[in-house]
Copies of this chain bind each other. A is one copy, B any other.
Amino acid sequence: MSDTPTTPEERHRERMQRKKALVDRKIARATLDRGVLVVNTGTGKGKSSSGFGMLARALGHGLRCGVVQFIKGTFSTGEEAFFRRVGGELLDYRVMGEGFTWETQDRARDVAAAQVAWAEAARMLADPCYGFVLLDELNIALARRYVALEDVLAALAARPPRQHAVVTGRGAPDALLEAADTVTEMRLVKHAFQAGIKAQKGIEL
């Protein structure tokens, strides 16, 4: 019992040492060096924002990056302006579609736009020059069967081994979750929209 910590500082130090040892062991075990497939799904906010945050990170590390936005949200031009301005040569940024489908109300046009977007995405996923590919709201296109799930799974599985891919959107299909390395469900706890606050320029509520 002689080495039992007695002060709060000692107890804190011991607790933190145990945590550090645990994390160090996990890091030592994590030896596979390859690109990861990340899926952000669920009904909460932050799925796309998180994807764009990862894009910033990838650009910060000098990776060549590709972005395909499968749904052009009416409030989401801010990131596009910013990333186009700063991404420069490192970034290919494609926006497909013409607003949410309930704005167009024309399924044939939606399908055609999604197919064009998917062709661009497939090109990026096959090109080892891209270190990071963000497929924003692809899950929506999958859920509406605008893009074939088997094509997406095949392209993701065959992508260059060091390439990272991020897929966002609610309702990710089970087979995509299965294929993913990291899956986060963004769960809506509370939304400013529900409280009657207007969509704000400069932020995603």
Contact = CB atoms under 8 A, between A and B. Distances in A.
Nearest to A40: B46
Contact of A34 (B31, B105, B197): B197
A56 B58 contact: no
Contact of A82 (B50, B60, B187, B192): B60
Interface string A26-52: 110111111110101010111111111
**How many monomers of this chain does the complex have?**
2
Contacts of A83: 56, 60
A123 interface: no
- Residue of A164, A181, A182, A199 with highest tally of chain B CB at under 10 A: A182
A190 B183 contact: yes
B106 A197 contact: no
A201 B103 contact: no
A187 B13 CA distance: 29
A82 B202 CA distance: 19
Contacts of A51: 49, 53
A188 B198 contact: no
A49 B53 contact: yes
Nearest to A185: B187
A85 B131 CA distance: 20
Interface of A: 8-9, 12-13, 16-17, 19-20, 23, 26-27, 29-36, 38, 40, 42, 44-63, 76-83, 85-86, 100-108, 131-132, 164, 166, 177, 180-193, 195-205
21 contacts: A9-B107, A9-B108, A17-B105, A20-B100, A30-B196, A30-B197, A31-B198, A32-B197, A46-B47, A46-B50, A49-B50, A53-B79, A60-B80, A85-B86, A132-B203, A177-B189, A181-B191, A181-B192, A181-B205, A182-B191, A184-B186
